[in-house]
Structures are given as structure tokens and as C-alpha cells.
Structure 1
Amino acid sequence: MNIQKETKVSYFNPETSYSSFHFIHTLRKCCKDCFSLDKNLVILCIGSDRVIGDCLGPLVGHKLSSLFKNSDIHVYGTLKNPVHAKNLDITIKKIRASIQNPYIIALDSSLGTNSHVGCVTLGKGALHPGIGTGKNLPHVGDIFITGIVNESGLNNISTLQTTHLATVVKLADFISTGVYMSVRPSKAR
């Protein structure tokens, strides 16, 4: 992932004590603009359900779509209807055309250094999906969240295909719980 230099990226290790608390607190701070400007929250979960290392987005979307079923929070990208390289552009256009004043949390899996595998990143600004696999996809989001599923290397496509499912599921559980606790409707707080 290529993040602009002025963007502060926070890293969270789900194995570390209090990381869930810090993730929730940081995401709430990032979402202040959404809540104070009365924008409509959209959670855009990017990835393919056909590649283990790339299924983080659809897994999180699947979990969040049931948690936010009866709320005004919009979730795109699930196991049943994934948002991936082939339909990302049209999905972004659909969001902008159908949701007034959207505030987008964009989520995707990523590759990183060996010491960051299994960590979650969070920051304000756009997500740049597809960079690890050489795809030129539209940048999207007001906030980005990534789960680092494996180590970046010479053949990142193969790396995504051989990623451990346990790593992806652990990250999906951490992210979906953290997002829900951060942005759940005020009635549920």
C-alpha cells in the first residue's frame, strides 16, 4: 500500500494487550468528521472471496452486514457480493450516486514486512487498493483500514494465494469487532 507521507498510520497487533481498546479509540477519533458533519457512513470492504489472502474485506463485510442490518450504516463488499478489482470503480460510482454525503471507511488486505504480518493499520485518507499486485485501481475512502495478511515479496499474487486462513480470520474478527464498537448506532452504545 502506498500512503501519502503526511498521513499518520497507526499499527495495531491483535495479540497485544489493549490493542482492541486502542483501535476503537483511534477509529472513533478518525470518525469525528463523519459524526460532526452529519455524513452517511459507508464501510467499503474490498477483496475477493476466491483468494485466501484477499478475502479479508469480504469476511469483514459479511460480519458487519449482519451487525448493521437494521441501521443507517451502509456496508459494501461481502462474501455474497464482494467488491474487487473488476467492480470497484462501478461500486464507488454507485455509492456516490445513491448515498448523499458519504463518509467512506475503506478496508482491504495488504502485504507488508515480516514484523508487521498479522497487524492492522488505520489512518485518515484514501486507501490505494491493488498496489501490492500491480493493479491501478481508484483510490477510495476518508479513512483506511488494512490487515497485513502476509509478507510482501517477489510474487505477491502467489503470496496472497498461499496465505494462512487463520491469519485472515483473526484479522477479520479484530477489525469487525473494532469497527462495530467504534461506529455502532448511538442507541446501541
Structure 2
Amino acid sequence: MNMLKETKVSYFNPETSLASFHFIHTLKSCYKECFSLNKHLVILCIGSDRVIGDCLGPLVGHKLSSLLKSSDISIYGTLNNPVHAKNLNTTIKKIRATIRNPYIIALDSSLGTNSHVGCVTLGKGSLSPGIGTGKSLPQVGDIYITGIVNESGINNIATLQTTHLNTVMRLADFISSGLYMSVRPSKAR
């Protein structure tokens, strides 16, 4: 789950006709800083593969790792190797130690209002994974992407466990497609 460090956030409803176009365009404008400063793009997909409402990150990481196999973009957090509460600190340290000048896109599922369920958020700044379930984890990301998988309520852990897989899959398809389209071909910058 996340919390914004900066205030500007864009919402995208994958069900609307131009959402994909606007998502890709907004991503490309966020990347300007990354590529103008010659930073290495890292996509950090946070979540657990054991809870439907929290598996958005690993699903996106899984999809992107096959789509961007031959690129110079680093992807952390897949179905085979998820990045979750227990290994997030270690993963962040590994990224900082092994990648010179990383530009991190942090991606996680989140809970929100009923009217935003099924939407994607994108913004500059970091997110705080685990905040919706009461975990204290480090903030991470130069930009963040979240998929709002369900409505926030009294028992968010139970809510994540009873989230519809269809919602998570639609968000994973939208986000992975948008990320892929916004960075390919990498030589075109």
C-alpha cells in the first residue's frame, strides 16, 4: 500500500478510451529527468504472490521481465522472486549498491475509495509500501505507480485477501503494457 511524498498524482481509469494513451504520455514525461541525467531505469514491483490483492507488483514484474528481456532496464519483483515486506530493505540496498545512478519506478497495489477501485495512479515522488496494512517500510521511488485493487476499510488485510483477481489482472495488463510502450525502443530517446 502506498502514501504520497509529493502531492501531484494522476489517475487513469483503464476502462476509458484514451487512458492508455494518457498513461504512456505521462510516463514518458516522467522519464525525461531519468534519461536527461543519464540514470539507469529500475522498475521495482512490490507485493506478495500469496495474496490476490497484493500480487499486482509481482504480476507486472513477471509480464515486464519477458517483454523487456533484452533491454537495459532492471526489473525487481516477479512471481518467481517477489519483493515484499521481508526483503524490501535488502532489495533497496542491493539496487543502490549494484546500479550506478538508479532512477526507480516503485509500483505497488493500494486500497482507495470505492470510486477509484480499478484505477491506476502515477506521480513523482516515493511511496510507502505496507502503509495500508500497518507496516512500517521504507519509502522508495523517484516516481510511483499504484493500482487501486479494492476499497479501503476497517480490515484491510482481509480486504486484500478477498480482492477479485480480475481487477488485479486488468490493472497488471494496463500497467505492464503502458510501461513497455513508454520505454520501447530504448534507442529512440
If the TM-score is normalised by the length of the shorter chain, which range does it land in?
over 0.9
Residue by residue over 1:82-135, the C-alpha shift from the partner in whole angstroms, topping out at 9 and shown as x without a partner, is: 000000000000000000000000000000000000000000000111010000
Aligned to 2:23: 23
CA distance in 1, matches of 2:97, 2:3: 27
Aligned to 1:99: 99
Structure 2 length-normalised TM: 0.97
Letter in 2 for 1:63: K
Aligned to 1:148: 148
CA distance in 1, matches of 2:78, 2:188: 23
Aligned to 2:39: 39
Q: Please give the secondary structure, in 2, of the residue aligned with 1:95.
A: helix
Letter in 2 for 1:77: G
Residue by residue over 1:126-153, the C-alpha shift from the partner in whole angstroms, topping out at 9 and shown as x without a partner, is: 0111010000000000000000000000
Tell me the CA shift for residue 7 of structure 1: 2.4
| Unaligned segments of structure 1, at least 5 residues | none
Aligned to 2:59: 59
Aligned to 2:127: 127
Of the structure 1 ranges 66-75 and 51-60, higher mean CA displacement relative to structure 2 is found in 66-75
Runs of 4+ in structure 1 deviating by more than 4 angstroms, as ranges, are none
Aligned to 2:139: 139
* Alignment: residue pair count: 188
Q: Please give the secondary structure, in 2, of the residue aligned with 1:69.
A: coil
Letter in 1 for 2:53: G
Aligned to 1:3: 4
Aligned to 1:70: 70
Tell me the CA shift for residue 187 of structure 1: 4.1
Q: Please give the secondary structure, in 2, of the residue aligned with 1:135.
A: coil
Aligned to 1:180: 180
Structure 1 length-normalised TM: 0.97
Percent of aligned pairs sharing the same letter: 82
